[in-house]
Structure formats: structure tokens, C-alpha cells
Copies of this chain bind each other. A is one copy, B any other.
């Protein structure tokens, strides 16, 4: 039996239209390369985005055409977020930190027709220019300087068009945005978000039990707009008429904290590495910043260590722990607590918040081990699988790695447990597990323990081949400023929490750890660097 409901599609442009009509006076603040803050209103965003739509239509862009962006988080990037998909074209956000070869590969693979580029990123554009063929390149030209030959002014392009694009009838499953996974191995793979997936994701992350987006919120997406749509924050903010603060290219902790204080931000989102730098700045400069009372921080991209949650709490700032991937739009789970936990001990609550949390509504997660779906006991590990309307079912073009089960779930490559409350915890990446003498050792648990030690700033634990035990864990640590590492003391510290055979056999000090452009630890690189490591005194791990 068919329902009698209207078949109105969920479209990205309806968020823009809503903000233009209902929240025209709400501010969008962009931090400029110069350090100044440029302010506009949702009304301007609405008009500019529609002008961009009309200009693109005038330039021959039609449904399904790709328009690339090479931009920081700023007003014009936001205009592209809405102006491009509103006419059925697809906004392809390029990761400015990728290697030129990778960037060029992605541009060519996606067959991008046009590019919009920030003037301060023209140097990146020049590195890929010989390898790609954009039909037209529009430069957001803040200094109104001389543009490179073959490029045009974004501003001029916009003013070339009328204010009213012709919105085509779109189906909600049509493509709206593309992002390539910046995987640590293999060629980058395209994930194509639909109007439907973006809309449903925006609704779900806005719920009170997830991120609580409201017209009373002021949102700072520090997470890049060139990576997984800045976690969908720009879409949710515009849908609800939240004030938006866009940090531009300067992600130094003091610049971010200034922005939070000046604009009275209530919700900022970033990877733990950035949050950690903010935390250090706050602790090192007591009294320098007066943070808004209602400030919350959303952490995602990699695990937020429990110590970070505790230290931010001491400063009166709540950290919300999210989990997701490029393939999951990205938010799949959130670790907000249940009212039934109100009588739990503080330690137990921290441990719970340090888990990656519960699946959002409309999304399902499960953990599958060697003998099928794992029990929700908080102990049985397996690979995390996820299913839902904003989860990828394939990659666009190129090779198709086998990441989907026969019954349609996405295999994340993360090793996880789910506890009896339904909270998922990532214990490791499948490829980062250490297999010693037939037993698995979690590198993530060891890393979390290490960074909770007073003398350690960052830590990585990797598997290194071992003549007897197949693999053994090696810890690579960055000491805190001025700290020295006492190996025996570190070992004793870990043995309080781990079985002795799980504790790394050795500890190496380095000045810094290698990270991907999206803030993830590059363990592949470390494994390469230490592939010829020799265990000095092949100690017998005690079992």
C-alpha cells in the first residue's frame, strides 16, 4: 500500500533557502589570512550562493558536473558548499595538504571541470597545474592583486550572473559532494555524498543527544571543510541558523582560542591533535583566555584519550567524543552518556566517554569477529561494521577494494568492542594490531596509556618483526618539553595496567611523530622507518 505523503526530496539547497528566509541576520565570521575577521550575514551567504549557482549555470555547468575547491574554511568555501549542489553539480573539496601527485590524480579521476581556489593557496594550485586540465579557475582574490594567467576572479565571476539560478528538479540520491579518502595506503578513493545522505546526516548530528545544533549555537568547525565536509557542521549550522565561525588557515592554538573567546563559540570541532595543542596552550597560559561558559568541543578523526577529557573538564570545557570516517559522512557514533549512568563513579564515566559511543539514529553498528557477530560485553573484539543511509556502499571509479560484506555492511578496518550499554570502543586499526606469540596486542591501548604519563607528549606503538615471537611492540614517544624518559619507570608504569607480555620491549625517543594531512598518525611510515630495528637484548616476554 502506497502512502499519500508528498515525494519532496531532501536537498542541500533547502537548507540554504531556509537560512535565507528565516535567519537572514545571523552572522558568518571568517578569519582571513591577514588575521582580521570578515563578517557577513546568512542573507549574504544566501545571495552569493545563488549567484554562484547562476554563474555556474551561465558557464555551462550542468547536473553531475564536478566543481573543485582548493580552499580553507571560509565564507567563499561555504558559498561553494551550497551554490554548487543547488543546481545539481557536485562540489569536490580538494585536500590542500596532499602531495601534488595525489592531488592531480584525484582531480583527474573525478574529472573536475572548474576550480575555485583561495589566493593564499595558489602556490598549491601551481604545483598541480601542469598535471591537470581545469576548464576555468576562479581565484578568491582578497588583495585584488594580479591574478596568474589563465585564472579569473571569483568575485567577477559571481557578478557576471543574475541573482536567480534555475533550480532543476533533483532526486535526493543524486551526488552533491565528493571527498577522497586520504588513506595511508593505496590510491585515494572517492566517496560521493548525496543530497539525501547530507540532509539526513545534518538532521541526525543536530539531535540533542548528539551535538545539539540550534539557532542558539555558535559553531566553529576547525575540522577542515576540504575533508568530509567539515563533519557536516556547515550544513547543520545553516539548516538551523546557527552562527558560523570559520577559522581560515591559521590553526595555531592561540588563534583558535582567541576566535572562540571573541566570537563566543559554543561548539568547536577538531581532531584530538589540535584539541591537545589548545589544551596545552590553556594550561600553559592560565587566565589568558576566558572561554564561553557553554563551550563544548567535539573530538573525532582519531581517539580522544581519557586524559584529555579529564584535563579539559578541569578547565570547565566538555569534550564530546565522536567517531567516523570519510566513508561515513562522517559521524557514525557519539559518546554522550545515558541518564541511567548518573550514579556511576567518575572514573567509570570517563572510561565511558572515552569510548567512541553509540550509533546515531538510523545507523547500525556491529562488531564481527572470527566466529561471527561479537557479544556486547565490552571485551570481545572484531572488525567494526556499519550500515545506514549516510554510509558509502562503494567508491567512485578506480579500483574497488573489498570493504563490504555480502549483506551490505561497510567494513571499517577498525578493531572494536561494544559494551552492554551499546557503546563502541575502537581498540585498534586492523592493520595496526600486533601479533605476538599468537596473541593480539592493541597498540591503541598502549598509546593511550603512554600519553597519560606525565613525561610523554605523544606516543605510537608499532609491531616490529621478532625472531621468536613473530612480532613485538615497540614504543616511539615524543617527550614533553624538557622531560627525559626513564625506560624502566615507563615499563613499571605500563605493567600496572597491562600484562607483562603486552608491554613494549623497547622505547624510542623522537622529536615528532609523522601525521597524515588529516591528523592521523602515519603508522605505515613508522613501520618503514623501524623495519630494520634490531632488538638489542631479545628479552623473553613473560607470559
Say how far A292's CB is from chain B's closest CB, in angstroms: 13
Alpha-carbon distance between A241 and B208 when the two chains are bound, in angstroms:
12
Residues of B with C-beta under 8 A to A90: 1
Residues of B with C-beta under 8 A to A190: 4
Residues of B with C-beta under 8 A to A203: 200, 203-204, 207, 361-362
Name A420's closest neighbour in chain B (CB-CB).
B24
Contact indicator per residue, chain A 58-98, by CB within 8 Å of chain B (1) or not (0): 00000110100000000000000000000000100000000
Stretch at the interface among A158-166, A293-301, A384-392, A521-529: A384-392
- Asked whether A6 lies within 8 Å of B174 as measured between CB atoms, the reply is no
This chain's copy number in the assembly: 2
Contact indicator per residue, chain A 1-36, by CB within 8 Å of chain B (1) or not (0): 111111111100011011001110110000000000
Asked if A151 is at the interface of the complex by the 8 Å CB criterion, the answer is no
- Asked whether A6 lies within 8 Å of B239 as measured between CB atoms, the reply is no
Asked if A338 is at the interface of the complex by the 8 Å CB criterion, the answer is yes
Residues of B with C-beta under 8 A to A206: 207-208
List which A376-425 residues lie within 8 A (CB) of chain B.
Answer: 387-396, 408, 410, 421-422
Asked if A173 is at the interface of the complex by the 8 Å CB criterion, the answer is yes
Residues of B with C-beta under 8 A to A7: 173, 389, 393
- Asked whether A422 lies within 8 Å of B22 as measured between CB atoms, the reply is yes
- Asked whether B361 lies within 8 Å of A197 as measured between CB atoms, the reply is no
Say how far A79's CB is from chain B's closest CB, in angstroms: 20
Stretch at the interface among A120-128, A213-221, A280-288: A213-221
Alpha-carbon distance between A208 and B364 when the two chains are bound, in angstroms:
23
From the candidates B4, B239, B340, B396, name the one contacting A396 in the complex (CB within 8 A).
B4
Q: Which of A8, A90, A206, A359 has the most B CB atoms < 10 Å from its CB?
A: A8
Contact indicator per residue, chain A 416-441, by CB within 8 Å of chain B (1) or not (0): 00000110000000000000000000
From the candidates B9, B23, B197, name the one contacting A3 in the complex (CB within 8 A).
B197
Asked if A358 is at the interface of the complex by the 8 Å CB criterion, the answer is yes
Asked if A450 is at the interface of the complex by the 8 Å CB criterion, the answer is no
Asked if A339 is at the interface of the complex by the 8 Å CB criterion, the answer is yes
Residues of B with C-beta under 8 A to A64: 1
- Asked whether A194 lies within 8 Å of B358 as measured between CB atoms, the reply is no
Asked if A393 meets B2 with Cβ closer than 8 Å, knowing A21-B422, A208-B208, the reply is no
Between-chain CB contacts (< 8 Å), 23 pairs: A1-B63, A1-B174, A1-B192, A2-B174, A2-B175, A3-B175, A3-B192, A4-B393, A5-B197, A6-B393, A6-B410, A8-B362, A8-B391, A14-B364, A15-B361, A199-B362, A200-B203, A203-B203, A206-B207, A206-B208, A207-B208, A208-B216, A215-B338
Given contacts A5-B197, A6-B410, 5 further A-B contacts (CB under 8 A): A3-B175, A4-B392, A5-B329, A8-B389, A208-B213
